[in-house]
Structure 1
Amino acid sequence: MVRGKIEMKKIENATSRQVTFSKRRNGLLKKAYELSVLCDAQISLIIFSQTGRLFEFSNSDMQKTIERYRKYTKDHETSNHNSEIYIQQLKQEASHMIAKIELLEFQKRKLLGEGLASCSVEELQEIDSQLQRSLGKVRARKAQLFREELEKLKAKEKQLLEENVQLHQKTDMEPWRGSTNHEEKFRVVDLNLEVQTDLFIGLPEKHCK
């Protein structure tokens, strides 16, 4: 025989309601006991009937379990409260950052020459001063970079000169590749030397017999 599905609503008949309460109460207590034994769970169950009668089950000290529950819920509430405070702080910081970014963007537009129509003379003078200070810093940085680049070039020049001297010294030490005065030697031939030769320039003589 199949049991029909019971509609979840208050049983109006008092006798039927009491019988159902007794059956389901015993079943609930039995399930709690089985759960505590099978799963080694700490369970405390408290039931008050409609007439105010107390039924309870606990596999450990009921009072300690209740204190543990109170401590857990208190810590949980404190944690939730702290989380809410932290979230509020983050929202406030985000709002401050957004406002600061908007202010910086507004000042940036002014420095770029935008939106100056609404500026007073004092504000324009302040913008001019800021630009002058920025320009001075840019020029100082530019000069510093030039000096650093010049120092690098001087160091490179010194290195090349040293390498050149070393090459000359190496050349002087090798067999006849240059004089000690770094001048090339040449063989000089004196073309003015008198040399006797049978060579005759002119018409050949006619010899008569």
Structure 2
Amino acid sequence: MENRIERHNMHSKNLLKPDQPSVDSQLENGCYARLCKQLAEATRLIRHMRGEDLQGLTVEELRQLEKILESGCCRVRQRKSEQIMEEISNLQKRGVQLMEENTRLRHQMTELSRMGKQAVVDLENPFNEDGLSSESVVTLTPGENDDTSVTSLKLG
């Protein structure tokens, strides 16, 4: 029992001494030191990849750095190509949509010219599917044939 009391008293005295760091603070200091070292290494690697601080590198280290940079460039080029192909595909789809819209509008124009009347296109709802204003008035003056008719278009 006395041994236990002595150990307890020693332990409580050790807790009060500021000159001896606790186990937790030692672990934190170790983690901090390790993280500082990792940060310094990562910073050094980034500087090397940017082409800075290359003086101290050996030929083999420069070759390894060159391989890393080449593989990175290949990945960048591949991603760039993918994005360009996606953009081309989207533009082609948009082109097809515009051609279909153009065909539809031509068909409407020929129908209106056959009727020989003034047409007012959806004045109550001035926005079409794309969110653009479609408030317009098309006036057709019928001629002898479709090529000679006068067409005016007023966009609002």
Give TM-score, length-normalised by structure 1. Answer: 0.43
Q: For residue 172 of structure 1, what is the aligned residue in structure 2? A: 110
> 1:111, 1:131 within 8 Å by CA — same for their partners in 2?
yes
**Greater per-residue strand proportion:** 2
Relative to 1, partners in 2 of residues 1:98 and 1:172: Cα closer, same or farther, differing over 3 Å? same
Q: Secondary structure at the match of 1:163?
A: helix
* d(CA) in 2 for partners of 1:92, 1:178: 89
Tell me whether 1:105 sits opposite 2:43 in the alignment: yes
Deviations 1:123-145 (A, max 9, x none): 01101101111111111111111
Tell me whether 1:133 sits opposite 2:71 in the alignment: yes
* d(CA) in 1 for partners of 2:82, 2:104: 33
Asked which structure has the greater CA Rg, the reply is 1
Sequence identity (%): 22
Relative to 1, partners in 2 of residues 1:186 and 1:103: Cα closer, same or farther, differing over 3 Å? closer
Of 69, 78, 93, 1:155 maps to 93
Tell me how large the CA RMSD over aligned residues is: 2.9
Deviations 1:90-113 (A, max 9, x none): 333222211111001111111222
Q: Secondary structure at the match of 2:52?
A: coil
> 1:109, 1:115 within 8 Å by CA — same for their partners in 2?
yes
Q: Secondary structure at the match of 1:118?
A: coil
How many residue pairs get matched? 104
Structure 2, unaligned stretches of length 5 or more? Answer: 1-7, 16-21, 117-139, 150-156
Of 146, 151, 154, 1:184 maps to 146
Deviations 1:170-205 (A, max 9, x none): 1122213599xxx82449xxxxxxxxxxxxxxxxxx
Structure 1 position 150, deviation (Å): 0.7
The amino acid of 2:107's aligned partner reads: Q
Point out which structure has higher relative CO (alpha carbons under 8 A, 6+ apart).
Answer: 2
> 1:111, 1:127 within 8 Å by CA — same for their partners in 2?
yes
Structure 1 position 86, deviation (Å): 4.6
Structure 1 position 89, deviation (Å): 3.5
